[in-house]
Amino acid sequence: MTLHRVARFTDVSENRGLEVRIDDSKILLLKVGDQLRAYQGECPHAGAPLAEGALCNGRLTCPWHKAQFRIEDGGLCEPPALDSLKRYPLEVRDGEVWAGDQPLQDAHTPPADDERTFVIVGAGAAGTAAASALREKGFGGRVLLIDREAGAGYDRTVLSKFVIAGEMPTEEVPSLRDDDFYREQRIERINAEVMSLDAINRTLRLTDGQSLQYDAALLATGGTPKPLELPGANLPQVFVLRSRAHAQQILDSAKPGQRAVIIGDSFIAMESASSLRQYGLDVTVLARQPVPFAKQFGETIGKAILALHEANGVVLRTDGEATQIEGTNKVEAVLLDNGQRLSADLVLVGIGVTPATAPFADLPQEKDHSLRVDGGMRVTDGLWAAGDIATFPLNGQPRRIEHWRLAQQQARIAAANMLGGDEHYLDVPYFWTWHFGKNYDYLGHAEAWDEVEFKGDPFKPPFIGLFGKNGVVTAVVACEEERTMAMLAERMKQPLPVDEAWRMIRD
Ligand code: FAD
């Protein structure tokens, strides 16, 4: 390892990281009190430049998907990153900063000193985050990670954004962890489907007849796309999109120049509209709402996103609902209840998901089939749930929220509590959505607001829209305002007065 002179001490400011390079390695210098630290320059999640992130309350927040790390030691605080930052050796001599060209080695696997077996059902966002967190938090016992999908544990958020746009082959969908990680961390992956659960006897049954005993279990089976219940819905070109296999089926069928009808105006439906359009298909969306996302983002931003879709050739229709998919061996048209017939080569159904809790029929379930958990994500003794299947208390209200980062946060909380901790969700829900090359960030969970104000114009990003209720920020939507959103991700953990937020945004 060689030290390289990379900056002067005075080049690094109090409130912003500085990116320096040694050959091809990007290194981030951060000021911690009167000292400096050197960390990897890119977020371990998706490679965002961390120098563009925000420093606040002793944490560095990633500008892209809001992973958080302790400034002091680079330790992981919040996902979607699943690893702490790699630290580089650093010395300051006569006001000059010298950094090493190799990161310090701090990988550790807890010794196998625990007799217990923890089982995780579902290796998606929540399940994989929980398996990682159990080891990170020192659990040395057996960890069994079960998923019915071979090769599970990948980033499904890219499916609707890049894969069906033809920009990322399914084999290149990023895995959440690589094979070496599972091996080194002794995480046993089982490719099997869980059929039932006996929570009293702490036993899971698999569809192949095997039974598994556990000391603690986390259920993280996610959502199942709601099927279309119409004549013709079983034709081969009627698709849903949840898994890599679904994305591959869509790609195997879709050809530029074809006509796609998308049923639904969910985030996945609209992201798919953008992607299929970019892939060269004619796209019509059959929506229930005239303005997509108005409920979550308000009318103005919803209209701006609709305008972006329309400018790119997507047609959104609200004048009729699908009553039948026509065709003998293949999709030919979608019939609407107003008598119209839309010619189609493929249909994509994006009308939401149902929590995948059928194997847990013996547990009490909410009306939507989710599992109610307490603030620590616990269902009952020895059993926890996280992600899309969990209804959890958010600001005192039971909520089920389908966000990637939140599923992973819940999983980390569950992992800590499976180990005897007492952690609760104290953060701000965050998600992102991608349309025609524009990324929209959402912080908060507002069902109602009494004021909304903008910096910039939602029709011409960059912009920030601030939603307030009783003078306190309840949600923020933004496009191309990454650093400010990273700062808000931290600041909104405490009630943030709207005035103060505006002062921060304008600074
Ligand atoms: P999942 O990630 O779905 O994982 C559940 C796993 O359980 C699956 O691998 C499944 O195979 C397995 N499983 C289910 N039943 C069984 C069983 N009986 N036995 C064994 N295994 C089982 N959120 C965002 O915040 N931002 C986005 O941009 C975004 N984009 C998305 C794009 C798409 C196409 C989709 C489908 C979702 C997107 N989401 C996004 C939502 C986000 O992916 C989910 O909220 C998140 O994946 C939920 O995590 P989870 O662990 O609960 O479920």
Give me the DSSP letters along 22-43. Answer: ETTEEEEEEEETTEEEEEESB-
The helix/strand/coil state of 147 is strand
Give me the DSSP letters along 181-196. Answer: HHHHTTEEEEE--EEE
Structure tokens at 64: 């892209």
Q: List the one residue out of 235, 258, 263 whose CA is nearest residue 323.
A: 263
- Average pLDDT (301-313) is 98
Taking only the tens place, the pLDDT of each residue in 14-60 is 989 999 999 999 999 999 999 999 999 999 999 999 999 999 999 99
Q: Which residues contact 350 (CB under 8 A, 6 or more apart)?
A: 225, 240, 241, 262, 263, 264, 265, 266, 268, 269, 270, 272
Task: State the SS3 of 456-491.
Answer: EECCEEEEEEEEEECCEEEEEEEECCHHHHHHHHHH
Per-residue DSSP letter, 497: B
Q: What are phi and psi of 370, to 5 degrees?
A: -80, 170
Q: List the one residue out of 293, 307, 306, 301 whose CA is nearest residue 454.
A: 301
Domains of the chain (ranges, CATH numbers): 3-100 (2.102.10.10), 117-224+354-418 (3.50.50.60), 238-351 (3.50.50.60), 446-506 (no CATH)
- Label residue 117 exposed, middle or buried (CB < 10 Å: 0-12, 13-18, 19+): middle
- Cα of 412 vs centre of ligand 1, distance in Å, is 16
* Closest residue by CA, ligand 1 atom 4: 124
pLDDT class for 284, splitting at 50, 70, 90? very high
- Run of H or E including 415: helix 404-418
Taking only the tens place, the pLDDT of each residue in 159-186 is 999 999 999 999 999 999 999 999 999 9
pLDDT at 246 over 80: yes
Taking only the tens place, the pLDDT of each residue in 320-368 is 999 999 999 999 999 999 999 999 999 999 999 999 999 999 999 999 9
Looking at residue 1, what is its pLDDT?
84
Q: List the one residue out of 133, 184, 179, 186 whose CA is nearest residue 152.
A: 179
What residue ranges line ligand 1, CB within 6 angstroms?
121-127, 146-149, 152, 156-157, 159-160, 193-194, 220-222, 241-242, 268, 356, 359, 387-388, 402-405, 407, 431-433
What percentage of the chain carries pLDDT values higher than 90?
97
* Closest residue by CA, ligand 1 atom 32: 157
Looking at residue 186, what is its pLDDT?
97
What pTM did the predictor assign? Answer: 0.97
Best residue among 148, 155, 275, 434 to mutate for probing ligand 1, ranked by most atoms within 8 Å of CB: 148
pLDDT class for 507, splitting at 50, 70, 90? confident
Count of beta carbons in the 10 Å neighbourhood of residue 86 = 19
Looking at residue 506, what is its pLDDT?
84
Looking at residue 105, what is its pLDDT?
82
Per-residue DSSP letter, 499: H
Looking at residue 429, what is its pLDDT?
98
How far from each other are the two terminal CA atoms of the chain, in whole angstroms? Answer: 41
What percentage of the chain carries pLDDT values higher than 70?
100
Q: List the one residue out of 91, 84, 92, 100 whose CA is nearest residue 23.
A: 100
Q: What are phi and psi of 432, to 5 degrees?
A: -135, 155
pLDDT at 270 over 80: yes
Looking at residue 294, what is its pLDDT?
96
- Run of H or E including 391: strand 390-394
Looking at residue 108, what is its pLDDT?
78
Taking only the tens place, the pLDDT of each residue in 126-160 is 999 999 999 999 999 999 999 999 999 999 999 99
- Run of H or E including 413: helix 404-418
